Each structure stands twice: as C-alpha cells, then as structure tokens.
Structure 1
Amino acid sequence: MAFSTQDNDEVMSEINVTPLVDVMLVLLVVFIVTAPLLTNSIPINLPKTEAVAPVEQKDPLVVSIDGAGKWFLNKNEIQPELLRTNLESAKQQDPQLRVQLQADDGANYGQVAKAMAAIEKAGITKLAVITAR
C-alpha cells in the first residue's frame, strides 16, 4: 500500500469547482426559462390574405461546355466565336436576361474563362455558375 507523506500544514492548491458548476447550472436554467418569454413581447393578430401567384420568370439561357470542349447554348451546339453575338441578340429581346453557365469537370479552364468573358462582354450581369453537390 502507498501512504501519503504530506504534512497537513501545506496549502491545498486545487480549486473546488463544485460551487462554480452549481451557479452555472442555475444560470442555465434561468436563461432557458426566460428566453421564450422575450421573443413574443408584443402580441399581434396578423390579417389573413389570399395567396397570390408568384411572379413568372423566364427560363434562363444555359451555356454548357462539355468535356470534349464543345459549346452549347440551350442544348444547341454553337461555335465559341458566336456565343457573344447570340447573347447580345437575346439581351436585346430581354433586358433582364439570366444566364446559367455549366461546364464539365474535365473541361479546360481556359474555355470556361472565355465563356465567362463572352457573357460579360455581351452585357449580361445575371450569371449563375452551376455545379454539382
């Protein structure tokens, strides 16, 4: 058996954390009870309305680049040089035109950058880059 050889005159250097834990638990209970009471401080009866139809949005143009480097505009294959002119004519028909850009994982980054530059030069400001999760 091991016996302790410490004298009783020495100061104990350990902190008793039991009172601290008790105080923290009491504070936790107080906050749990009072938090729901603070969220509904003003009772308001909101009026009932009928549902309205959502605003119709046109489908965006989809610019796609596959792994082989082929460019598509709404599933129609196009030449990269013609992308800007096609987007400019579409922008004239619809000033609020939205474009989605999707590129294959194996597509060359330079091709994607060229597509983004063509979209910007066409004056389109609403661009979404589509990725997979």
Structure 2
Amino acid sequence: MAFSATARDSAVAEMNITPLVDVMLVLLVIFMVSAPLLTKTVDAALPQIVPPSLDTIKPLQMQLDVGDDGSYRLDGRLLTQSEVGERLAEAAISDPRAVLRVHASSGADYQQVVTALAEARNRGIANLSVQH
C-alpha cells in the first residue's frame, strides 16, 4: 500500500483562519468602543500654590498667668479681669490667629482659670493652650 505524497500534503497545507478572523473582529470592536472614551477631557480643579510669605508669619503669642491669689498677669503685666478681657479683644482684632497660653500656678483657684478661658473665648481668641 503506497500512499501518495500529494494527498498527505494537501490536507496539511490548508489552515483554518476562522478563529484568527474572530479574534481580529473582537479587537476591532473593542478599539472602536474605547476610542471615543480616550478623547474625552476630565475637568479637575487643581489646588493653588499659597505664597510662602503668608505661612511664615507667626501668630501673636500671649502668656496669661493665674496666680495663687487669683491675680492675672498678661505677658508679665498685672491686670484685673476686665483689663484682661479688653487686652484679649484688642489682640483678637489685631491678629485673628492669636495664641493664648494660660498658665495656672499650683495653688490657683480652678474657677479663676475657667473664667480666664471663658473670657478669652468670648473675646475672640480661638487658639488656647492650658499649662499647669
């Protein structure tokens, strides 16, 4: 039984290209659908750079000491409670970012410290620090 060489070669010579065409058509559809999406712009609001000179200005720093006898010292000056309130109001107007550090001595009355904090808050000082 002899087989012909031409019969065997003709069966192998033909290649099925249907899967290749299917893959190409799928890729074509994918690119056609995604192409309009790539041309759209995205609206984005980027943050603006703040000039460094505004950040380097330090806020006004004040020290309020509450003594054992209920006395108030604002930056070393002995003041009454109403005078402290007036000075704090002036400081809040001149610098809204003013910082008040309240230091109470160990024997100070708690009510005096709370009164000082409430007075500072009422006069517009938002940045408070309490030390003991």
TM (normalized to structure 2)? 0.55
Deviation at 1:126, TM superposition (A): 0.4
Determine the C-alpha separation between the residues in 1 that align with 2:122 and 2:59: 22
After TM superposition, the structure 1 = structure 2 runs for residues 81-96 of structure 1, keeping only pairs within 5 Å, are 81-96=82-97
Cα distance per residue 1:1-52 (max 9 Å; x no partner): xxxxxxxxxxxxxxxxxxxxxxxxxxxxxxxxxxxxxxxxxxxxxxxxxxx9
2:71 matched residue in structure 1: 70
Sequence identity (%): 23
Instruction: Tell me which amino acid in the other structure corresponds to 1:98.
Output: V
Three-state SS of the structure 2 residue aligned to 1:113 is helix
Three-state SS of the structure 2 residue aligned to 1:124 is coil
Instruction: Tell me which amino acid in the other structure corresponds to 2:80.
Output: Q
Cα distance per residue 1:49-107 (max 9 Å; x no partner): xxx9x934245111111112111000000001221111011111111111100001100
Determine the C-alpha separation between the residues in 2 that align with 1:95 and 1:130: 22
Determine the C-alpha separation between the residues in 1 that align with 2:82 and 2:70: 13
* 2:119 is aligned with 1:118: yes
Determine the C-alpha separation between the residues in 2 that align with 1:85 and 1:110: 20
Query: Which consecutive unaligned segments of at least 5 residues does structure 2 have?
Result: 1-51
Which one has the largest radius of gyration? 2
Structure 1 residue ranges (4+ consecutive) displaced by more than 4 angstroms after TM superposition: none
Three-state SS of the structure 2 residue aligned to 1:99 is strand
Distance 1:94 1:59, change over 3 A: closer
2:131 matched residue in structure 1: 130
Three-state SS of the structure 2 residue aligned to 1:95 is coil
Deviation at 1:117, TM superposition (A): 0.7
Distance 1:100 1:126, change over 3 A: same
Instruction: Tell me which amino acid in the other structure corresponds to 2:125.
Output: I
Q: How many residues align?
A: 80
